[in-house]
Amino acid sequence: MFFQQVVNGLTIGGVYALIAMGLALVYGILRIIHVAHAGVYVVGAYTGLYVFMFSHSFVLAALASMIASAVVGVLIEELVYMPLLNNSPIISLIASIGVFISIEEGIRLVFGPYIKSFPSAMFSGEYHLGSLILSSSQVVVLLVGMISIVLIWFITQKTRFGLALKAVSEDIEMAEGVSIDSRWMIMLAFAFSSAFAGLAGLLVGAYFNSVYPSMGDVPAYKSLAIIVVGGMNNIWGAFFAAIVIGLLETIAIGVFNVPLPRDSLAFIFMVVMLLIKPSGIMGIFKR
Amino acid sequence: MSGYLVTLAITVGIYMILALSLNIIVGYAGQISLGHAAFWAIGAYSFAILTTKYGLGFIESSVLAVIITTLVGIFLGLPSLRVSEDFLAITTIGINFIVQGIFNSSDYFGGAMGIGGIPFPTFKGEMISNTAFMLMVYGFVAITIVASYMFKRSWAGLASFAIKDDELAASVNSVSPVRFKLLSFAIGSAIAGISGVLYASFMSFISAADFSFPVSVTILAMVMVGGEATIIGPIFGSVLLVILPEIFRFIHDYRMLLYGLLLVFMMRFQPDGFFGKRGLVWGILKRFSKV
């Protein structure tokens, strides 16, 4: 029972990580709280659903949802965030919330307000490891999540692109000084983080076998709590925080039956964290 | 005035008080708060509990509710003081979710069923009319406007503006940021408490869903669309954002979409709001005054 919940927590934590890491990356570069990131996640889920309906291929669906969400992410950046860059952060935050509402409502108007599920449950069957039960969709979520996180690690830590991103997030003017095209880098960063948010949308859709317009509501605000716990612009802090919060929620609700609503636990954890260590989870390791 | 117009006017008035109270926190002290619905909720819930569970009268419960909201506002302001700007925005979102979660899941607060049967104010044993209630609401609007104006002109207001402009410079000039941030949180939540009392009493039924995060966004949008740090701005913003959905009731399916787009376009083209420094209205007025 306990281990079952640990695995469930890891699965959900891995998906949170895919969203929150992109959010931390974007925050690190533009200092914008990108609430609309969760809108991109819904776009990914819907694209994946429709491509899967026609092609019956998970790989195609995943690719399509990553591409579509990358395009949406870049559009948001070009049309909304870049022109607002010189205003106070609260203005881009409100614009971002506006974009998020518009995306969700647009999707609701086009595709209808009802929960849609994958035509034939995308993956069927269960695996039994002792008392542990893993549904095959859970296995796929875990595997794809892990592969993506390794990929994110490789791209941000081991490539020139990752190095340039790090430079831009440290100091845009200095990065320009060493002839990094920061405009282009910001665009790529949005494409990159949005692609993984879209993939996360598809994975969640497949895991719960349901896709609906307001599915972004909970991740939108929970991922904010996660990046605060992780230390705002720290991608790996966001990763650890996502796993910790995923585990914490699942175990608190599933094992200890904590009577609080599941979705406020992340925020309670965040407030406690702010009181103990405002610099975030990575701050603890650094000491 | 027809009953519909009176109801609408009361709703606008309640939101005006709310928007003006948030303006003290956001506009004057520069503290981004995205959880203002939580303070509104605390005012409304304290009033509802005091009247329905403990049978207190309208005036006693209102006064107690405002005191409770102020104290909770100060208490919740404390963790918020440790963080600034973006962290503060997220922390206040968190406060909204936590407060709503507690009201929604605790049986003491009626849980998901909410609290019903909240009394309407009475005069000489008889319920007052809606028109009288409306006059009372606008009395409070007037008090809030005067309070905002006085706060803006007082030394505390000047200190808050100084902190908003440059916290370090203000603290070097021995203006304590902690003190004035807490003061603005206290005043802002006290006024939000008044608005909560009026709301609970007027609706006679409240549930946690009335005070969700989107409501906080709406309140902040009222302040920003009108123009923060002005007094006319939040008033105009609350009129606009309450009336517009009523006018567009016939396309009610597209209402939220239009609302989202309005937020984006406002922030994109009028980031200071209609009455702000670079706002449309001041621009027009200036042009006319030059001629």
The DSSP string of B223-246 is HHHH-TT-SHHHHHHHHHHHHHHH
How far is C-alpha A69 from the geometric centre of its chain's CA atoms?
12
Query: What is the per-residue pLDDT across A224-274, written as a single tens digit (0 to 9) for each?
Result: 999 888 887 888 889 999 999 999 888 887 778 777 777 778 888 888 887
Residue A186 falls within a domain, yes or no? yes
User: What pTM did the predictor assign?
Assistant: 0.88
> Has residue B259 got a pLDDT over 50?
yes
CA distance A257 to chain B (A): 13
Instruction: State mean pLDDT over B215-242.
Output: 90
Residue A10 falls within a domain, yes or no? no
Work out the pLDDT band at A122, boundaries 50, 70, 90: low
SS3 category, A230: helix
Contacts of A31 in chain B (CB under 8 A): 86
Work out the pLDDT band at A283, boundaries 50, 70, 90: low
Q: pLDDT value at position A287? A: 46
CA distance A124 to chain B (A): 35
Q: Which residue has the tokens 């949406």?
A: A72
Nearest residue in chain B measured CA to CA from A259: B105
Global ipTM = 0.85
| Contact B221/A at CB under 8 A | yes
Query: What is the total count of domains within chain A?
Result: 1
CA distance A88 to chain B (A): 9
Domain residues for the domain of A41 are: 21-221
Closest by CA position to B113, among listed B211, B209, B213: B209
Antiparallel, parallel or unpaired: β B115-116 and B205-206: antiparallel
Query: How many CB pairs below 8 Å do chains A and B form together?
Result: 122
| Separation between Cα atoms, residue B213 and residue B207, nearest integer Å | 14
Tell me the residues of chain B between 96 and 125 that have a Cβ less than 8 Å away from chain A.
97-98, 100-102, 104-105
Nearest to B263 among A89, A94, A264 (CB): A94
Cα dist. B235→A155, A195, B13, B266, B274 in Å? 50, 41, 9, 17, 11
Nearest residue in chain B measured CA to CA from A261: B101
Contact A264 B85 (CB under 8 A): no
Query: Which one is predicted more confidently, B3 or A199?
Result: A199
Instruction: State mean pLDDT over A148-152.
Output: 90
Nearest to A97 among B98, B102, B217 (CB): B217
CA distance A196 to chain B (A): 22
Domains assigned to chain B: 3-289 (1.10.3470)
Residue A125 falls within a domain, yes or no? yes
**C-beta separation of A119 from A49 below 8 A:** no
Contact B257 A87 (CB under 8 A): no
Query: What is the per-residue pLDDT across A8-39, written as a single tens digit (0 to 9) for each?
Result: 888 889 999 999 999 999 998 888 889 999 99
Residue A200 falls within a domain, yes or no? yes
